[in-house]
A and B are shown apart, each in its own frame.
Chain A
Amino acid sequence: MWAAALAVAVLLALPAVLSGYAVTIFILIFFYAFLAQAWNVVGGYAGQLSAGHAAFVGVGGYTAALLFERGVTPWIGMFAGGALAAVLGAIIGYLGFRFGLRGFYFVLLTVAFAEICRILASNVEAVGGAVGLYITFTGNPRQFQFQDQRAYYYIALALMLLATGVTALIERRRFGIYLTAIREDETACEALGVDVLKYKLLAMIVSSFLAGLGGTFYAFQNFSLQPGAVFGIPLSVEIVIRPIIGGAGTLLGPILGSFILTPLGEVSRSYFGQSGLHGAHLIVYGVLLVAVVLFLPQGAYPYLRKLLSRRNIA
């Protein structure tokens, strides 16, 4: 516990000594850790592999941005976006879980859902079509915009802590135990009288609501939303890959995954991106990724925990 408190204290103090670029990297780490944690609830704990989580981010972002154009502050739009994402999550979850789609079939359903969102957003003029939405930079905090980059740092940190707090709560309650049981053996769980559909749906709703909140942050930090970028498969992969590397279904796995992957991507890009070898950084990134998957198949966090506990015993 004291370690967690210390870590948070360090993270709170960090912006005072960091350069603008380093702050940006931390924002990315926190933000993707947040999205990864949101995914972790349904994908990690409940074992329902959603490969279309970008759609919830997109729905949340578009909702807040469109409401903003109509004069609603993103501070409210954020929750409207989260709520709409949760409703969509419930619908997708219901369709998938009610009809017993498991494994690959659920993956396909979620991918298809994200693709439908992308195609709709690309073709409906009212939401900007393929051009997307461009948000005017004002630097006004009431409009979820900040002249100082560090404000985004603290919001992203807060989001990450929020999602981790929610996940910790779930983990410690019966809800969390049910989810793990569903992941390990759904049929046995059902035979014991657990309302599998209800708990999977709840996990989906929590997860999509959180991802929806993240959409507003994305929109008002990047100042533009393009259908391909926010609903596309690459963003979904970015979200899923962090818990996989860090350890899916563990509380700190997504955070650890984000702390490993985001700087890795950045360092390799700024190191090799300057050279004439276009794309060398992507190869390095890919090789390191393969190495992690090969040598730490359970994810980095379980390995780290094992390492630490072994030491304590010794």
Chain B
Amino acid sequence: MTSRLSRRTFLKTAVAGAAVVTTPVTLRAQAKTFKLGAVHPVTGPLAEPGQACRLGAQMAVEAVNAAGGIKSKGGVKLELVLGDTQTKTENGRVEAERVVTQGARMLMGSFDSGTTNGMVSVAQQRRVPFLVDIAAADQITANVAKSVAEGQQKVQYVYRNFPTGSSFGRKAVQYFGEIFAEAKVTPKRVVLMYCNDLFGQTQSRGFLAAYKAAKPAWTVLEDDVIAWPEPPSDLSTEVSRVKSLKPDVISPITRPASAQILLPEIRKQRLDILGIVGPGSPGFYEAGQIAILKDDVEYAMVSNPWANFKNPRTIQVAEEYKKRSNGKTFDTNSGYSYDAVHVIADVLERTASLDDPDAIVDAIKKTSFSSGLMQYAGPIHFNELGDNPNAVTTMTQILGQKPVAVWPREAALQKFVFPRPKA
């Protein structure tokens, strides 16, 4: 008797479970809102930038909806379906699958390149247009473009509004040259230093490749590139090696932890240099870092994706962001996620149909959007690879203990100080 009863209970539970698991598919068609899957690493090692991305996206969705939603489609509201990769590679695809099953008709995400590439396969398999808000590896879009060019995939569903890994290096080399020329110096001994991890390797490799391709008048000591294991406990030997190279400029690629050790060490060992100019990394410009590093970081320059603070709307959004994030800066992460939602809203305004992924892709391809809050070299549009060539970096410098955009000229809020004043 008991066994028969329990079998029934089991069957009931199983049927109920199956219903839960299968229903979202049927719910998909009748949505009055447009669901947008936003997948970011909200927990795990990358939780901090991931949470910044999520908040940026949420604020942008609120802004779009407050302004009347997608007006050309009868004011359809955007609704975020949130995903968390937990900073695990395999969760990129799992979370993408989940948000799509829950009705997401477009995807955005996901900060680190590994999980993003996992999401790419879901986008291509299930025909869900995917706008990468942050992730730098060139292969993410290039591989899909290649697959489409070779006829293995029909349509490219993956686009990106973020500088690619290789463009980081190219822009840094360009800005270095322009700043040196403007300052009327030609450094012959630029020493590149980097943290030897995924980020540091990518950045240094991209920088050196761009340098070799550009063959500029200034010179990097290519045979004396110095790497340290990240996080380092001490960098005194590395800095004394740099000192023995008699550098004009030190060009470090740091993480926040290593910047806290490197910059004081450069001061302690009294290096006589024109300045510290980084090709692009965190560690120099964050409020917390500046509070710790104080004078050691003054005049340091670094080329990073940066918000356009010449735009009054950026200042307004940054203020609100600061309030809602307990005092954090509106930065690369929150900024690019914020812009991604607005680009998507613009695409949805122009698409012939919200239900046809290929119509959405057509609209993405025709994008020319100039209301982004980040610093761009021109309107956001997508090239043959699916990347926005106008997503560029900005050179910032710490002036008066604040990060200030100093280059390119059209983005500059102040003139840079280089060479730095002698102590």
Contact B144 A24 (CB under 8 A): no
A23, A24, A224: which contacts B114 (Cβ < 8 A)?
A224
Assess A17 versus B22: contact at CB under 8 Å? Given A149-B97, A311-B3.
yes
B117 touches A138 (CB 8 A): no
Interface-located stretch among B118-126, B357-365, B401-409 = B118-126
Which listed residue, B97, B113, B114, B202, touches A21 by the CB 8 Å rule? B97
28 contacts between A and B (CB under 8 A): A20-B25, A20-B101, A21-B94, A21-B101, A22-B21, A22-B101, A23-B97, A24-B98, A129-B201, A130-B198, A134-B113, A136-B143, A136-B147, A137-B124, A137-B125, A139-B153, A140-B152, A149-B125, A222-B89, A223-B117, A223-B118, A223-B121, A224-B118, A228-B198, A278-B47, A278-B51, A279-B43, A281-B84
Cβ of B139 within 8 Å of any chain A Cβ, yes or no, is: yes
Q: Is A18 an interface residue (CB 8 A)?
A: yes
The digit string for B18-61, where 1 denotes a CB below 8 A from any CB of A, is: 10011011000000000000000011000100010000000000
Whether A269 pairs with B86 at a CB distance below 8 angstroms is yes
A226 touches B114 (CB 8 A): yes
- Per-residue CB contact flags for chain B residues 69-100 toward chain A (1 = under 8 Å, else 0) read 00000000000001110101110111001101
B197 at the interface (CB under 8 A from A): yes
Contact A136 B88 (CB under 8 A): no
A226–B90 Cα distance when bound, in Å, is 11
With A20-B100, A21-B100, A149-B125: A134-B90 Cβ-Cβ less than 8 Å: no
The answer to whether A222 touches B22, judged by C-beta atoms less than 8 angstroms apart, is no
Verify if B137 is at the interface (C-beta below 8 Å from A).
yes
Q: Is the CB–CB distance between A139 and B124 below 8 Å?
A: yes
Residues in B neighbouring A298, C-beta threshold 8 A:
none
Please state if B18 and A17 are interface contacts (CB–CB under 8 Å).
yes
Shortest beta-carbon contacts, A-B, top 9? A21-B101, A134-B139, A130-B198, A138-B152, A136-B143, A229-B89, A224-B117, A24-B97, A273-B84
A273 pairs with B83, CB closer than 8 A: yes
**A278 contacts B137, CB within 8 Å?**
no
A268 to chain B, nearest CB (A): 11
Q: Which residues of B contact A (CB under 8 A)?
A: 3, 18, 21-22, 24-25, 42-43, 47, 51, 82-84, 86, 88-90, 92-94, 97-98, 100-102, 113-114, 117-118, 120-121, 124-126, 137, 139-140, 143-144, 146-147, 150, 152-153, 196-202, 205
Find out whether the CB atom of A19 lies under 8 angstroms from the CB atom of B125: no
Q: Which of B82, B90, B118, B147 contacts A138 (CB 8 A)?
A: B147
Q: Report A-chain residues with C-beta under 8 Å of the C-beta of B98.
A: 21, 24, 266, 270
Question: How far is A288 from B264 in the complex, measured between Cα atoms in Å?
Answer: 46
Interface of B is mostly: helix
Asked whether any CB of chain B lies closer than 8 Å to the CB of A253, the reply is no
Q: How far is the CB of B158 from chain A (nearest CB, A)?
A: 9
| Residue-wise interface mask of A (114-147) relative to B, using a CB-CB cutoff of 8 A (1 in contact, 0 not) | 0000000011000001111011111110000011
- Taking the closest CB of chain A, its distance from the CB of B372, in whole angstroms, is 27
Which partner residue on chain B sits nearest A22 by CB separation? Answer: B21
Q: Which residue of A lies closest to B6 (CB)?
A: A311
Contacts of B139 in A (CB 8 A): 134, 136
| B47 and A279 contacting across the interface, CB-CB below 8 Å | yes
Report Cα–Cα, A157/B24, bound state, in Å: 24
**Majority secondary structure, A binding face:** helix
Complex formed: what's the CA distance from A134 to B93 in Å? 14
Given A134-B143, A229-B114, A278-B51: A20 and B88 interface contact (C-beta under 8 Å): no
Contact B143 A282 (CB under 8 A): no
Output the nearest chain B residue to A130 by Cβ-Cβ distance.
Answer: B198
Given contacts A132-B198, A137-B124, 16 further A-B contacts (CB under 8 A): A17-B22, A18-B21, A20-B100, A23-B97, A123-B196, A131-B137, A131-B201, A136-B147, A137-B121, A137-B144, A222-B121, A273-B83, A278-B42, A278-B47, A279-B42, A281-B43
Q: How far is the CA of A195 from the CA of B131 in the complex (A)?
A: 59
User: Is the CB–CB distance between B153 and A137 below 8 Å?
Assistant: yes
A235 to chain B, nearest CB (A): 9
Q: Is the CB of A148 closer than 8 A to any CB of chain B? A: yes
Least distance between B187 CB and chain A CB atoms (Å) = 28
Measured CB to CB, the nearest residue on chain B to A25 is: B94
CB distance from A278 to the nearest CB of B (A): 5
Instruction: Give the docked Cα–Cα distance between A139 and B202 (Å).
Output: 28
Q: Decide: A19 and B121 in contact? CB cutoff 8 A.
A: no
Question: What chain A residues lie within 8 Å of B47 (beta carbons)?
Answer: 278-279
Q: CA–CA, A260 to B247, complex, Å? A: 59
- Interface presence of A65 (CB below 8 A): no
Measured CB to CB, the closest approach of chain B to A167, in angstroms, equals 24
Contact across chains for B93 and A222 when beta carbons are under 8 A apart = yes
Partner of B140, one of A132, A134, A229, A279: A134
In-complex Cβ contact of B89 among A20, A23, A224, A269 (8 A): A224
Distance in Å: Cβ of A136 to nearest Cβ of chain B? 4
Q: Quick one: which of A122, A222, A224, A234 has the most chain B CB within 10 A?
A: A224
What residues on B are CB-neighbors of A218 within 8 Å? 90
Out of B3, B21, B22, B201, which one reaches A130, CB within 8 Å? B201
Q: Smallest CB-CB separation from B139: which chain A residue?
A: A134
Write the chain A residue with the least CB distance to B140: A134
A228 and B137 alpha carbons, distance in the complex (Å): 16
Q: Which residues from A are CB-within-8-Å of B94?
A: 21, 24-25, 28, 266
